[in-house]
Every structure is written in C-alpha cells, then in structure tokens.
Chain A
Amino acid sequence: MSRKHHITLQVNGDEHEFLCEPQQTLLDVIRDELMLTGTKEGCATGDCGACSVMLDGRLVCSCLVLAVEAEGTSVETIEGMASGDRLHPLQRNFLELNGLQCGICTPGILIAARALLEKNPNPTETEARYWLAGNLCRCTGYDKVIRSVLAAAAEMRGA
C-alpha cells in the first residue's frame, strides 16, 4: 500500500488536517475522515451534484477532486451554511416552500444554489434551471426547488 499524504486545509473556516491515500477523493475524505456527512455521494462520477462543495470559492463536485489537491485550500460544505442560529435564506425557503422531499440531494442543491446567487442575485427561472441542471433530484420534479431558490433570491435582494 502506498504511503499516505498529509494534507492541511480549511473547512468551513476551521483548520483541518488528514492523512489520505493518493486515490481518495475530496468527497471520501470529507465524509470518512472529517466525518462531515452532509455532503453526499450519489454517483462518484460528477453527474448528480449531491457532493457539491465550494473549493476556494468555486463550485465543484467533490467526487471529482482528489483529496491531495485540496492542500492549502478552503472548502465550504453544507455544515457551514447556516450562521449560528440563523439558517441561510435558501435553507429557510427550502423548508417553507417544501423544496425537499427525501432530502438526499438537498445539501448539494443548496450549495450550488448559493453559488448561483453569489454570481447572479436575480436569476430568471430559466437561469436557475440551467445552473442547477447538474444537481439531480428524483423526488420533487424540481418545481418547488426552483421556487425556493427564486424566493430566497428575492428575499436576499430585499425585493
């Protein structure tokens, strides 16, 4: 077995370190080493978006990033989305508008949706749909997901 690599990085603002094998993905490490299981594995091929995280401010599928590539980076996961007692407006709107059913895809969709609103605070329905086309949801048919995102966007704009 190959020697493990020692990696240090920031996750949700905190310093972390871990040892990983060269073939392990960032997703493997987030879940199995850092025990942050809010980030989900749905396919391991970058097709479902359940493992979406922010890596140095960029939206990525953590299953497509090798853990060793994360050295010195800053990672944001769903566990860091709420601040203190306050849910992010996206989280609250998903709750209030029933933007989730089983909830397995929800963390990935929330991370991706926040990345959208940071770039584009006023997306059209079509823009939201295309941005979230990398996040599969099998329960909702996307209707209430998109409505939740647009409602959160309006709220964040103060509209």
Chain B
Amino acid sequence: MTTILDKPGFNPDRKYKIIGTSPVKHDGFDKVTGRAKFAADAFLPGMLVGKFLRSPHPHAWLRKIDISKALKVAGVKAIVTRDDFPEIKQGTGGGDMTRIAMAREKVLWEGHPVAAVAATSEAAAKAALKLIEVEYEVLPHVIDPVAAMQADAPVLHDYMRTKGVKGPDAERPTNIVERLVLSVGDADSAFKDADVIVEHEYDTKPMHQGYIEPQSCIANASEDGQVELWCCTQAPWVYRDRLTDILKLDSAKIRIQQSELGGGFGGKTTFYAEPVAILLSRKAKAPVKMTLTRVEVLKATGPVSGTHTRIKMGCKKDGTIVAADAELVFQTGPYTGSAFTNAPQAMFTRYDLKNVKTVSYEVVSNRPKVSSFRAPCVPQAVFGVEGVVSELANRIGMDQIDFRLKNAIVEGHKTIYGEVFTKIGFVETLKAAKACDHYNSPLPKGWGRGVACGFWFNRGGETAGTVNLAPDGTLTIILGTADVAGSRMSMSMMAAEEFGIPVDRVRSILADTHSLGYNRVTAGSRTTFSSGMIVVDASRKIIAELCRRAAKIWGVPEDGVVFEDGHCRPASSNVGDFTPLSMKDIASKTTYTMGAIAGHSEMNVTGAGPGFGLHIVDVDVDRQTGLVAIKRYTVVEDAGKAISPQQVEGQYQGGAVQGIGWALNEEYIYGADGRLQNAGFLDYRMPVASDVPMIDTVIVEVPNPKHPFGLRGVGEVPVTPTMAAIGNAIGEAIGIRPRSLPMSPPKVLKLIEEARVKGLGG
C-alpha cells in the first residue's frame, strides 16, 4: 500500500498561504498571562507532598534503612524505600532504571535517592526525613571518566564487563561499559598521503540542560490499581512503558497526562520522582505531588556527558582531507545510556572522508546519570573536530569556509553508519554563510573570528495523531508528541495549509497516553517533522472523506469532486453546476451522511532530512582577565522549509546561547569528597541576557523531498558547532586555541600568557 511516506506530495512550486508566516502561537496567550498550567501548577483535593532523602556519599553500600521513627511524625502518611520496588536483575535496562529511581544495593552518586516521604505538609515531610536512619558503608569513589578507566579505579558494578573487547580485559570487572569501533577505509595508511597533520586532545565538561522548570509530578493511585500521573515530560509513552516495566503495572492501568513543559532540551526524556510518587500514593491512598528543588535538579537529574577526546586529521595542500582518526571517552554517570554512539556517527559527517577510524568508550563513574541534550553526545566531539579542521585550513592558508566547501558532502554520500543521503543542504549552507554580512564584515583589531560546522541526523519514528472535524468546520488536532517550544502551532499551521483555511480555525492539544497509540520520545528534532507528517496524512484522509460526502450529496461520482481552499467543488463543469460546499456545510450535516468525520494516522515515520549548520562568532578577549565577550554571532542553518520562521530563528538562537554557556561558563565542580560544589544557579552560571549579543540568523531552505512541505528538524544542529566556533574565535584572538571546556577566564588567561611567551597572537 502506498503511504504518505512513499508519496509525500512535495511540490517545489507550491505557493504557501500560511506556512512561512509567523502567526502568534495559540498557546502563547496563557503563557503571557500566567494561566498556562505547568507541572507544579496543578493541585488535587487531599493532595500530599512528597520529599526525597538523598545520599550524602558518592559511593557506599546501603546496609540498613530504618524508617520506624520517621513514620511516627504527625502528618506522615507513607514512606517508600528500596523494599517497595519489585526486584529487577542488576545490569538490565529495568534493573538500572529502578536503581536510579531508588538506591538498592549501593548508593552510586551524591544525591542518589534512598527514601521518600509523603506527608500532609512540606514541614512534616522534612521533619520525617531527618528521622530516617541510614547505615552506609562508604566506598572509595571515582568522578573523572578517564580515572575511572584505570585498572586500579574503584569499580561501581562488580558484574560489569566491557562490551566490545576480547581477551583477558573482557573478563575483569570494569567501569568501561563498551568499546565501540566505527571505521571506514584505512585511516592509518591514508595519513601517509597528508601534507599536513593536526592532532590534539580535548576535554568537555558535563553541563546541565538547565530547564527553568524543575521536574514536578502528581501521582494518584486508586484502590483498584489505576494510576493517573500528571507530569512535565518529553516522553509520556516512554514513561508509561518504563513505569509499567519497573512497577509491574498493566499499561491500561496507567494514564499519563503531560503538562505544559517548562523547558526540557532532552532532560525530560527520563523520569525521576514519578515512580516514587506512584508508590507513595499507593501506600498513602491519596494523591502525592513531588517537585524537585533546583539543588536536586542539579545533583540528581541528567547532565550531559563530559568527554575526553583525541582527534587527528590530515589534508593535502589543495585542501582535501585524506584521513581522520579519533578516540573518544564519554562519561555516562553510574549507568549506561549516554547515547555516545551518536558521536562517531555524526562527528565527521559533513566531510567527504574515505578513511576514518574511531574508537569510543562509555564509562561509568560516581556522578548523576547523564541524560539527553540537544544532539546527544555530538557537540562534545565536534568541539575537537572543528578545532582541528580550522587549524588545517589555517596551516594550508585556505579560507575557513572554502576549506569546508572543498570537503563538503552532497546528495548520494554514503555515511560512516551506512545511510545514503538524499538531497541535503550542506553546500548551500556553506555558501550562504560565505555570502552573509557577518562573514564579510571587517574584524575590529584584537578580536577573533571563528567558524565551525555541525550536523545532526534528524529523526522520525513511531508517531500517532488525530484530526477531528467539528460541525462548524473547525479542526482540533490531538498530538502525541510534546510541545517544547511551539510545535502545537506548527501542526495547526500545517493542517490549515492543507485544508486552505485560516489557522485560527484550528487548535492542537497534547494527548494523554490513553488517547493515542505509541509516540516515541519528543527529541532528536523529530517532532515538527514526524507529527507534521501525521497531521498532513490525517488531514488528507479527512479531505478524501469530505469529497466522498460531497459526491453523495450531489449524487455524482467521487472523482467528480475536488477540494480546494476549504471547499468541495465540482471537478469540472461536466460534473454539474453545484455551489461549492464548505467544510462547515458538510460537517454540519454528518448526521444525514455517514456520521462524524475524523482523520487518524499512526506510522513509523521515515524520511527525516539531515540538518547542517555553520556558526560565525566574533569574540573580544580581555587580555588582563581572560574574560571572553561574545561580540557578534550568526547562525546559518538549513531548515528545509521554515514552517514558522520566527520559531525556527528561536531554535537557532536558543541553541547557540546554550552552547555559549557550555563553551564559557558551565561545568560541574566536584570536591575531593565526590560532592558537587556548585548545585545552584548562582555558582552553576548559565548565560544571562547581559552576557550575549543579538543572535543573527540565516535560514537556508533546501527542501527535504520526503516531507509534504520539505521541512527538516532544526532543534539539534544549533548547539553542535557553538563551542568549536567560540574556541576557534578565541584561538584567532590570542594565538592559541583552547582545548578544554569551559573556556573560562583562568584557563584563557593561562593561554594568553603561554601565547605571549611563544610570541603568538595579539
């Protein structure tokens, strides 16, 4: 059967009425008046408050937990510990999840939950937490992933053996989860053809996704085993399936409703308090609300993997890159799941390399489990790659963008992971960057200008949705993907475009898990693409049905009716002289035709168009303090087709500024005791308005032929090249490129002094 995936109906000559405009987001009104309901904004009658007790130790055996005194505190209704969770074997997906939710044999990071209390007030819950007696047997800990790889490092899991190695190393307990080799051609030999080789080591630090809304949820478990869960999530169906796995529930008995999402960026793809709140609610026989504090968010929810990488690349004098070699170490926290395999697949994917060798490691240590963040694990690798690429271009005296153009991939390229690209817009992006005002503007004396490129696969995946036609001819759309920044509006726009009606006649809402089939996590820049495909497919089904109804009303054959601009019309004068029927005309008479009209679609969506971008940044470095000021910033990126240009710009700008934070300020600082020292927004400093300039954007549009409107995902690419571009700019300004994040004043000052000694830079 032919589906929309085979025949998306993309028409390059189509003139859009709504797509490409930027109407006000329907969900915006409640957000500017304070009425939008985020997770913590809900209350239920009789609701209790739940609070966590967390480990003060980064690594210890959990010998004994005594809750008897705490249970006696007035107002305490339930306490949950490891004993309340079903036993699931260690080293399995469910086993890891249940142990992240609540420590079982061991505590594995400072902040690991060991108990939770539900009480009638926060004060009562806190009083009870103080009376829970926990006996720890403290163990040596390891924070740094490279240290964790050493033979004498404390081992977190006795059962862990490295996947992907053979011989005696495969038999020993280890912190190395996996060694992954991904290669093409013969890099070792190919380096012989290089005229110039550059090789360096790079460090990146964990940063937090930094959503302003701390995780919050309300669980309501009824006596017959039903559970209702309200929470902020990017992945209601994933939460459902994992919660049913670790709590041994039927899917039919848990209904998850997502709230407005106060930022996620990948960090709300996995749950924390939710299973605990469900167990507390079950025990207390009352709804339980759990809201994390900012300290808890920083200590116990997913940061991004820190990395240590070594990158080597070689090119000929004419600019052709002949080989690349990389070794990458990714920190994942105490359990596997960093998505590190993205890195070797994506790190060089934009250059036409015939000989690449990569060896990647994922390593556990005593830090919070990492979680997804825009283009998971790719920006860290790109930081090194684009640094080396820039240095190669400088060494052979070639313009930075020309060097990248010389090696740029085009349609038909077969990637290192096997995908063969259809139409891609990398060359167009590079050319747009070369032509943009920023790149052609003179650089003030003393400043540095850097460029860097990034790539993200963009994703599709399982998606379901429904479009309903109301008797008055308006449309309501039920979506399974989360709305992280305006996707409900983009869906309404796409439906309005397909029907040829004003977007104000369409509204989109976010479903609960009972209302639709499985929807994959809202991540990987898949949502506007995948749910957009579903909405267009469902809309086309409604249009076909409208034509059938019109044919019936007119008594003509179905192919005698066409649909345009919200009306069914006779296909030609031969069909007959009929007054066109509006959507309302037909929908208001469904009682007399064949009943209500709705379109539904569920698919494993394929055909996501890869995304490419280039960032240009000018920096001024204070030579006395090492402080880096971002003076000018431009994001150039291929959107395929911008559904709402304002929202696309917002993605570019937001991604770039998150990258600026990662580049210049953000890091987790641990003491020798393995405890996080900067668990607050004062010391974990994200960019504020006065840290950054306006972020200019250039939206390149090379349509993705696999989508009805040609769009590509745009959310991940904007953070992939940022740190590299800034590092390159600093290097141009001071003569030595920083290779360790964050590029904070003390580190940059050291490089300025080193450059002075070596007689480099300005």
Once bound together, how far apart are the Cα atoms of A21 and B126, in whole Å? 14
* Structural contact, A140 and B211, CB atoms closer than 8 A: no
Indicate whether B680 reaches chain A with its CB closer than 8 angstroms.
Answer: yes
User: Min CB distance, A47 to chain B, in Å?
Assistant: 4
* Structural contact, B649 and A104, CB atoms closer than 8 A: no
Residues of B near A68 (CB, < 8 A) are none
Residues of B near A139 (CB, < 8 A) are 263, 485, 650, 654
User: Min CB distance, B387 to chain A, in Å?
Assistant: 23
Residues of B near A102 (CB, < 8 A) are 211-213, 260-264, 484-485
Partner of A98, one of B25, B33, B690: B25
Interface centre among A106, A107, A138, A147 (most CB of B within 10 A): A138
Once bound together, how far apart are the Cα atoms of A78 and B36, in whole Å? 12
Once bound together, how far apart are the Cα atoms of A41 and B277, in whole Å? 20
Indicate whether B682 reaches chain A with its CB closer than 8 angstroms.
Answer: yes
Indicate whether A36 reaches chain B with its CB closer than 8 angstroms.
Answer: yes
Residues of A near B74 (CB, < 8 A) are 1
Q: Which of B38-46, B239-247, B388-396, B567-575 sits within the interface?
A: B38-46
Indicate whether A156 reaches chain B with its CB closer than 8 angstroms.
Answer: no
Residues of A near B293 (CB, < 8 A) are 44
Q: A98-B25, A104-B262, A139-B263 are in contact. Are A43 and B650 (CB under 8 A)?
A: no
Q: A94-B32, A139-B485, A143-B695 are in contact. Are A103 and B654 (CB under 8 A)?
A: no
* Structural contact, B294 and A138, CB atoms closer than 8 A: no
Binary per-residue interface labels of chain B (60-92) against chain A in the complex, 1 for a CB within 8 Å, 0 otherwise:
000000000000001000000000000000000
Q: A41-B214, A47-B680, A102-B485 are in contact. Are A78 and B33 (CB under 8 A)?
A: yes
Residues of A near B265 (CB, < 8 A) are 138
Binary per-residue interface labels of chain A (127-146) against chain B in the complex, 1 for a CB within 8 Å, 0 otherwise:
01110111111111111111
Q: How many of A's residues come within 8 Å of B, CB to CB?
A: 61
Closest to A46 in B: B682
Closest to A87 in B: B32
Indicate whether A45 reaches chain B with its CB closer than 8 angstroms.
Answer: yes
Q: A42-B213, A48-B681, A98-B22 are in contact. Are A103 and B689 (CB under 8 A)?
A: no
* Structural contact, B28 and A95, CB atoms closer than 8 A: yes
Interface size class of chain B, counting residues whose CB lies under 8 Å from the partner chain: 35 or more
Partner of A138, one of B25, B211, B646, B689: B211
Residues of B near A39 (CB, < 8 A) are 34
Indicate whether B29 reaches chain A with its CB closer than 8 angstroms.
Answer: yes
* Main secondary structure on B side of the interface with A: loop
Indicate whether B657 reaches chain A with its CB closer than 8 angstroms.
Answer: yes
Interface centre among A100, A107, A134 (most CB of B within 10 A): A100
* Structural contact, B41 and A95, CB atoms closer than 8 A: no
Residues of B near A103 (CB, < 8 A) are 27-28, 31-32, 36, 260, 262
Residues of A near B264 (CB, < 8 A) are 102
Indicate whether A97 reaches chain B with its CB closer than 8 angstroms.
Answer: yes
Once bound together, how far apart are the Cα atoms of A145 and B41, in whole Å? 24
Indicate whether A151 reaches chain B with its CB closer than 8 angstroms.
Answer: no
User: Min CB distance, B49 to chain A, in Å?
Assistant: 10
Indicate whether A37 reaches chain B with its CB closer than 8 angstroms.
Answer: yes
Closest to A37 in B: B41
Closest to B28 in A: A95
Closest to A104 in B: B262
* Structural contact, B263 and A129, CB atoms closer than 8 A: no
Indicate whether A71 reaches chain B with its CB closer than 8 angstroms.
Answer: no
Indicate whether B692 reaches chain A with its CB closer than 8 angstroms.
Answer: yes
* Structural contact, A45 and B34, CB atoms closer than 8 A: no
Once bound together, how far apart are the Cα atoms of A138 and B660, in whole Å? 11
* Main secondary structure on A side of the interface with B: loop
* Structural contact, B34 and A107, CB atoms closer than 8 A: yes
Indicate whether B704 reaches chain A with its CB closer than 8 angstroms.
Answer: no
User: Min CB distance, A45 to chain B, in Å?
Assistant: 6
Partner of B32, one of A43, A100, A101, A147: A100
* Structural contact, A97 and B485, CB atoms closer than 8 A: no
Q: Find residues 78-122 in chain A having any chain B CB closer than 8 Å to their own CB.
A: 78-79, 81-82, 87, 91-92, 94-98, 100-107, 110
Once bound together, how far apart are the Cα atoms of A41 and B123, in whole Å? 18
Indicate whether B486 reaches chain A with its CB closer than 8 angstroms.
Answer: yes
* Structural contact, A100 and B31, CB atoms closer than 8 A: yes
Indicate whether B24 reaches chain A with its CB closer than 8 angstroms.
Answer: yes
Once bound together, how far apart are the Cα atoms of A43 and B211, in whole Å? 11
User: Min CB distance, B224 to chain A, in Å?
Assistant: 30
Residues of A near B315 (CB, < 8 A) are none
Closest to B485 in A: A101
Q: A97-B646, A103-B262, A107-B34 are in contact. Are A45 and B681 (CB under 8 A)?
A: yes
* Structural contact, A77 and B34, CB atoms closer than 8 A: yes
Once bound together, how far apart are the Cα atoms of A48 and B212, in whole Å? 8
Once bound together, how far apart are the Cα atoms of A91 and B34, in whole Å? 11
Indicate whether B658 reaches chain A with its CB closer than 8 angstroms.
Answer: yes
* Structural contact, A141 and B33, CB atoms closer than 8 A: no
Q: A44-B293, A101-B486, A104-B262 are in contact. Are A135 and B31 (CB under 8 A)?
A: no
Residues of B near A21 (CB, < 8 A) are 123
* Structural contact, B653 and A144, CB atoms closer than 8 A: yes
User: Min CB distance, A144 to chain B, in Å?
Assistant: 6
* Structural contact, A133 and B654, CB atoms closer than 8 A: no
User: Min CB distance, B545 to chain A, in Å?
Assistant: 35
Indicate whether A35 reaches chain B with its CB closer than 8 angstroms.
Answer: yes
Once bound together, how far apart are the Cα atoms of A107 and B212, in whole Å? 12
Indicate whether B688 reaches chain A with its CB closer than 8 angstroms.
Answer: yes
Indicate whether B505 reaches chain A with its CB closer than 8 angstroms.
Answer: no
Indicate whether A50 reaches chain B with its CB closer than 8 angstroms.
Answer: yes
Closest to B645 in A: A98
* Structural contact, B37 and A144, CB atoms closer than 8 A: no
Binary per-residue interface labels of chain B (538-570) against chain A in the complex, 1 for a CB within 8 Å, 0 otherwise:
000000000000000000000000000000000
Once bound together, how far apart are the Cα atoms of A79 and B41, in whole Å? 14
Indicate whether B35 reaches chain A with its CB closer than 8 angstroms.
Answer: yes
Q: A102-B263, A104-B213, A144-B649 are in contact. Are A1 and B123 (CB under 8 A)?
A: yes
Partner of A142, one of B37, B41, B43, B692: B692
User: Min CB distance, A54 to chain B, in Å?
Assistant: 14
Residues of A near B658 (CB, < 8 A) are 138, 141
Once bound together, how far apart are the Cα atoms of A103 and B264, in whole Å? 12
Excluding A44-B293, A103-B28, A129-B689, 8 further A-B contacts by CB distance (< 8 Å) are A38-B35, A106-B32, A129-B690, A136-B210, A141-B656, A141-B687, A143-B653, A146-B689
**Residue contacts A-B, CB under 8 angstroms, 12 given:** A36-B34, A37-B41, A42-B213, A43-B294, A45-B681, A100-B32, A104-B262, A110-B32, A135-B689, A136-B212, A136-B686, A138-B212
B residues adjacent to A (C-beta < 8 A): 22, 24-25, 27-29, 31-38, 40-41, 43, 74, 123-124, 209-214, 260-265, 291, 293-294, 484-486, 646-647, 649-650, 653-658, 680-682, 686-692, 694-695
Instruction: Please give me the 10 A-B residue pairs with the lowest Cβ-Cβ distance, nearest first.
Output: A38-B34, A104-B262, A103-B31, A141-B657, A47-B681, A78-B34, A141-B653, A37-B41, A101-B485, A98-B646
A residues adjacent to B (C-beta < 8 A): 1, 21, 23, 31, 35-45, 47-48, 50, 77-79, 81-82, 87, 91-92, 94-98, 100-107, 110, 125-126, 128-130, 132-147
